[in-house]
Amino acid sequence: MEKFDAVVVGAGPAGAAAAMTMARAGLSVVLLERGEFPGAKNLFGGVLYRRQLEDILPDEWQNAPVERQIIEQNLWIMGKDAVTKLGHRNEAFKSPNCWTGMRVKFDQWFAERAVAAGALPVYETVATELIREGGKVVGVRTDREHGDLYADVVVIADGVNSLLGKALGVHQEWQPDQVSLAVKEQIFLPKEKILDRFNLEGDEGATIEFVGETSGGMTGLGFLYTNKESISLGIGVMVSDLKRTRVKPYQLLEQAKQHPAIRRLIQGGETKEYAGHLIPEGGLKAVPQLSGDGWVICGDAAQLVNFVHREGTNLAMTSGRYAGETIIAAKQKGDYSRAALSHYDRQVAASFIRKDLKKYQGLHGLLNEIDPKLLFSQLPKAVNEAAFEMLNVDGRTKAEKQRFAINHIKETAGGTWDLLKLGWKGWRAIN
Ligand code: FAD
C-alpha cells in the first residue's frame, strides 16, 4: 500500500495552493480532482487578487492567465428604470491590484504550478469518503477501482458542497441562509465595443456590482465584469429567499438584462456560456473547526468567503498555503494530531481571513432580521426617486426638493427613528 504525506481533495485555488506549498518542500502529495482538469467544473464572477497570488508565486504571478487589469470598481443602486452610481477609478490600481479571470484557464495554470513542484495529479477522480482508523483520518476512498489513497494528512478543499466536510461532521448541510445561488452568463462582444462602452484602454478593466430592484426584493447582488472579449453578467440571491419566493435566479438575470443601464452595455453581444453555482455566505459563525486528527479543511469547504468584498479565491489560496505550511511543520515533528494541525486554525485566526470575517460577523444576523424587501427593493427605489427629484429642474425650489428627498427616504424606512436605528445597526454590523 502506497502512502503519501498528504492527499489534497480538490484542485481549486485552495487545494492547488496547499499542494504547491507542500510539494515545493519535498513532501509527497496527491492532488485529486473530479473534473477532467482543474477548473473544468469551476465557476466564479470573477475577480482574482494579486497580493495573495504573489504570496504563493512570487516569481510567477505575472504569468497568470488573466483577462483585464481592474482600474475601476463601481456599485450601482438599482431602481426599476433608474440607477444611482458610486465608483472609484484610479491609475494606481495598475500596480496591479486585481484582474478579471476565467477559472477554466486560471485553475488549470495554478494547479500546473503544483504539479511542476512535484505534486502528483490524479484527475477525473472523485473522493467518495474519508478512510478513518481509530478516530483518525488516514486517507480517502475514490470512485476508482482499488482507488484508496492513504496519507498522513488529508486536505479537504472540495468546495462549497464539501461532501467530505459533511461526512466528517465538522459542518452540517449548509442552511438556506448560509449560501447564495448565483447564475452567470458570458456575453461575447468585440474588444473595441468593450473598451468604448466602459471607457477603457488596452488591457484595463472595470467591475460593476449592482444591488436593488434587480434582485426582486430578495437579499442579493448582481455583477458585471469586463473580460478581454466578453462580459460576465451574473446575479446571486440567498437560497432562503429563492425557496420562499420560488423565483428562479435565471428569471432575475433575464430581467436584469432588460434594465436600461445594463441593456446598453451588453447589447449586440452573444451569450455563449451559462452556469450556476453556490457561494458560501454564512460568515464567521458558519466557519467550522479547521483541523482534526489527520485532516485540515480550506477555502469554500470551510465557508472562508468574504461576501461583502466578493473575496473568495484569495481566502482559498491563503488558507491552502497555511494548511500546507502547517503540514510541513507537522512532518518535521512526525505529529499529525489535532494538537499539531491546529496551528493551521491559529494561522487563519491571526490573518486577514478571520479578522475580515469577524469585522462583518454581524451582517449575516442583520440581513436575517430585516425584511429583504426594505433593503433590496424599497430603499434603493427611494434613493433613486430622491436623486431624480434633486436633479430634475421643474421650477420647485431646491429646499422643497431636499425636504422631499430626505422625507421620502425616512418614510420608506418607517420614519426618522427607524432610519436611524437601521443606520446604527448597519454600522454595528460592519464594525
Ligand atoms: P473551488 O474553487 O470550488 O474548488 C473545489 C474543487 O474541488 C473543484 O475543482 C471541484 O471540482 C473539486 N471537487 C469537489 N468535490 C470533489 C471530490 N469529491 N473529489 C475530487 N474533487 C472534488 N471569489 C473571488 O475571489 N472573486 C470573485 O469575483 C468571486 N466571484 C464569485 C462569483 C460566483 C458566481 C461564485 C459562485 C463564486 C465567486 N467567488 C469569487 C468565490 C470563489 O469562487 C470561491 O471562494 C473559490 O473558488 C473557493 O476555492 P476553493 O478551492 O475552496 O473551492
Cell of 18: 496547499
Could you tell me if the ipTM is greater than 0.90?
yes
Residue 365 confidence class, pLDDT cut points 50, 70, 90 = confident
Average pLDDT rounded to a whole number, residues 118-127 = 97
| Paired sense of beta strands 29-33 and 3-9, if any | parallel
Decide: 42 in ligand 1 pocket, CB within 6 A.
yes
Residue 368 pLDDT greater than 90, yes or no: no
User: What's the pLDDT score for residue 220?
Assistant: 94
Distance of CA 23 to the CA centre of its chain: 26
Chain segment 162-201, per-residue pLDDT in tens? 999 999 888 778 889 999 999 999 999 999 999 999 999 9
User: What's the pLDDT score for residue 251?
Assistant: 94
Decide: 314 in ligand 1 pocket, CB within 6 A.
yes
- Residues sharing a CB contact under 8 Å with residue 393, sequence separation 6 or more, in sequence order: none
Q: Which atom of ligand 1 lies nearest, measured to the CA of 312?
A: 45
| Rounded distance from Cα 182 to ligand 1 centre (Å) | 13
Decide: 310 in ligand 1 pocket, CB within 6 A.
yes
Fold classification of 179-280 is D-Amino Acid Oxidase; Chain A, domain 2 (3.30.9)
Chain segment 254-283, per-residue pLDDT in tens? 999 999 999 999 999 999 888 999 999 999
Residue 343 confidence class, pLDDT cut points 50, 70, 90 = very high
CA count, 13 A, side-chain hemisphere, 192? 0
Query: Which spans in 269-337 are helix H?
Result: 313-333
Rounded to two decimals, what is the model's pTM? 0.96
Q: Which atom of ligand 1 lies nearest, measured to the CA of 46?
A: 28
Given this structure, which CATH class describes domain 3-65+101-174+283-359?
alpha beta
Cell of 339: 494538537
- Domain ranges across the chain: 3-65+101-174+283-359, 179-280, 363-429
Residue 2 pLDDT greater than 90, yes or no: no
Residue 69 pLDDT greater than 80, yes or no: yes
- Paired strand residues for 120: 30
Cell of 241: 429567499
d(CA 88, CA 221): 19
Decide: 142 in ligand 1 pocket, CB within 6 A.
no
| Rounded distance from Cα 138 to ligand 1 centre (Å) | 25
Beta strands in 335-408, from DSSP E residues, in sequence order: none
Decide: 211 in ligand 1 pocket, CB within 6 A.
no
Closest CA to 127 of 146, 147, 137, 141: 141
DSSP codes of every residue in 198-257: HT--TTEEEEEEEEEGGGTTSSEEEEEEE-SSEEEEEEEEEHHHHHHH---HHHHHHHHH
Decide: 237 in ligand 1 pocket, CB within 6 A.
no
